[in-house]
Amino acid sequence: AQKVTQAQTEISVVEKEDVTLDCVYETRDTTYYLFWYKQPPSGELVFLIRRNSFDEQNEISGRYSWNFQKSTSSFNFTITASQVVDSAVYFCALSETNTGNQFYFGTGTSLTVIP
Protein backbone atom coordinates (compact mmCIF):
# COMPACT_ATOMS: atom_id res chain seq x y z
CA ALA A 1 0.00 0.00 0.00
CA GLN A 2 1.18 3.47 -0.76
CA LYS A 3 2.32 5.18 2.41
CA VAL A 4 2.20 8.65 0.89
CA THR A 5 -0.50 9.66 -1.55
CA GLN A 6 -0.42 12.77 -3.67
CA ALA A 7 -3.65 12.50 -5.58
CA GLN A 8 -3.04 15.58 -7.72
CA THR A 9 -0.80 14.57 -10.59
CA GLU A 10 -0.74 17.92 -12.36
CA ILE A 11 -2.02 21.36 -11.43
CA SER A 12 -2.01 24.54 -13.51
CA VAL A 13 -2.73 27.95 -12.04
CA VAL A 14 -2.44 31.47 -13.29
CA GLU A 15 0.22 33.61 -11.69
CA LYS A 16 -0.85 35.24 -8.40
CA GLU A 17 -3.43 32.58 -7.67
CA ASP A 18 -3.18 30.54 -4.50
CA VAL A 19 -2.70 26.80 -4.84
CA THR A 20 -2.80 23.92 -2.37
CA LEU A 21 -0.97 20.64 -2.90
CA ASP A 22 -2.46 17.72 -1.04
CA CYS A 23 -0.59 15.00 0.79
CA VAL A 24 -2.12 12.10 2.69
CA TYR A 25 0.02 9.61 4.55
CA GLU A 26 -0.43 6.28 6.24
CA THR A 27 1.50 5.06 9.24
CA ARG A 28 1.03 3.12 12.45
CA ASP A 29 4.04 4.72 14.01
CA THR A 30 3.51 7.29 16.73
CA THR A 31 6.76 9.06 15.97
CA TYR A 32 7.26 10.04 12.37
CA TYR A 33 8.37 12.92 10.21
CA LEU A 34 6.84 14.54 7.17
CA PHE A 35 8.65 16.44 4.46
CA TRP A 36 8.11 18.44 1.33
CA TYR A 37 10.71 18.64 -1.43
CA LYS A 38 10.67 20.75 -4.59
CA GLN A 39 12.11 19.61 -7.90
CA PRO A 40 12.42 22.53 -10.35
CA PRO A 41 12.92 21.91 -14.06
CA SER A 42 16.68 21.79 -13.49
CA GLY A 43 16.13 18.47 -11.72
CA GLU A 44 17.68 18.86 -8.29
CA LEU A 45 15.68 18.07 -5.17
CA VAL A 46 15.31 20.99 -2.81
CA PHE A 47 14.27 20.49 0.80
CA LEU A 48 11.37 22.72 1.88
CA ILE A 49 10.17 21.60 5.28
CA ARG A 50 10.35 18.88 7.94
CA ARG A 51 7.61 18.38 10.50
CA ASN A 52 7.54 15.84 13.35
CA SER A 53 4.41 14.01 14.40
CA PHE A 54 4.21 15.76 17.73
CA ASP A 55 4.09 19.23 16.28
CA GLU A 56 0.76 20.02 14.65
CA GLN A 57 1.32 23.73 14.48
CA ASN A 58 0.92 25.12 11.03
CA GLU A 59 3.95 26.80 9.60
CA ILE A 60 4.34 29.77 7.33
CA SER A 61 7.46 30.73 5.46
CA GLY A 62 6.96 33.67 3.16
CA ARG A 63 4.44 32.64 0.51
CA TYR A 64 4.57 29.01 1.63
CA SER A 65 2.45 27.48 4.36
CA TRP A 66 1.87 23.97 5.58
CA ASN A 67 -1.20 22.51 7.30
CA PHE A 68 -0.56 19.35 9.31
CA GLN A 69 -3.65 17.51 10.55
CA LYS A 70 -3.10 14.18 12.29
CA SER A 71 -6.84 13.56 12.47
CA THR A 72 -6.98 13.29 8.68
CA SER A 73 -3.36 12.13 8.17
CA SER A 74 -2.73 15.05 5.90
CA PHE A 75 0.14 17.45 5.40
CA ASN A 76 -0.97 19.95 2.78
CA PHE A 77 1.17 22.65 1.23
CA THR A 78 -0.19 26.02 0.11
CA ILE A 79 1.55 28.55 -2.10
CA THR A 80 0.05 32.00 -1.85
CA ALA A 81 0.25 34.40 -4.78
CA SER A 82 1.98 31.86 -6.99
CA GLN A 83 4.85 32.88 -9.24
CA VAL A 84 6.29 31.35 -12.38
CA VAL A 85 9.36 30.29 -10.37
CA ASP A 86 7.09 28.04 -8.32
CA SER A 87 6.63 25.80 -11.35
CA ALA A 88 8.11 22.46 -10.30
CA VAL A 89 7.29 18.98 -9.17
CA TYR A 90 6.60 18.81 -5.46
CA PHE A 91 7.10 15.66 -3.42
CA CYS A 92 5.69 14.82 -0.04
CA ALA A 93 7.59 12.23 2.03
CA LEU A 94 7.24 10.27 5.25
CA SER A 95 9.94 8.93 7.55
CA GLU A 96 8.99 6.37 10.18
CA THR A 97 11.07 5.52 13.21
CA ASN A 98 9.82 1.90 13.34
CA THR A 99 11.30 1.20 9.90
CA GLY A 100 14.66 2.66 10.77
CA ASN A 101 13.81 6.09 9.49
CA GLN A 102 13.36 4.99 5.90
CA PHE A 103 11.88 7.66 3.69
CA TYR A 104 8.76 7.04 1.60
CA PHE A 105 7.85 9.43 -1.19
CA GLY A 106 4.61 10.26 -2.89
CA THR A 107 4.40 10.24 -6.66
CA GLY A 108 4.66 14.01 -6.85
CA THR A 109 2.48 16.87 -8.04
CA SER A 110 3.59 18.80 -11.08
CA LEU A 111 2.70 22.47 -10.67
CA THR A 112 2.68 24.83 -13.62
CA VAL A 113 2.23 28.51 -12.98
CA ILE A 114 1.10 30.33 -16.09
CA PRO A 115 2.22 33.94 -16.48
Choice between 9 and 71, CB closer to other proteins: 9
Minimum CB distance to other proteins, residue 16 (Å): 28
Residue 58 interacting with other proteins (CB under 8 A)? no
Asked if residues 31 and 97 have their Cβ atoms less than 8 Å apart, the reply is yes
Q: Which helix (H) or strand (E) holds 21?
A: strand 19-21
Which one of the spans 21-29, 43-51, 56-64, 79-87 is the region binding other proteins (CB under 8 A)? 43-51
Residue 80, strand partner residues: none
Residue 96 binding other proteins, by CB under 8 A:
no
Question: CA-to-CA distance for 37 and 115, rounded, in angstroms?
Answer: 23
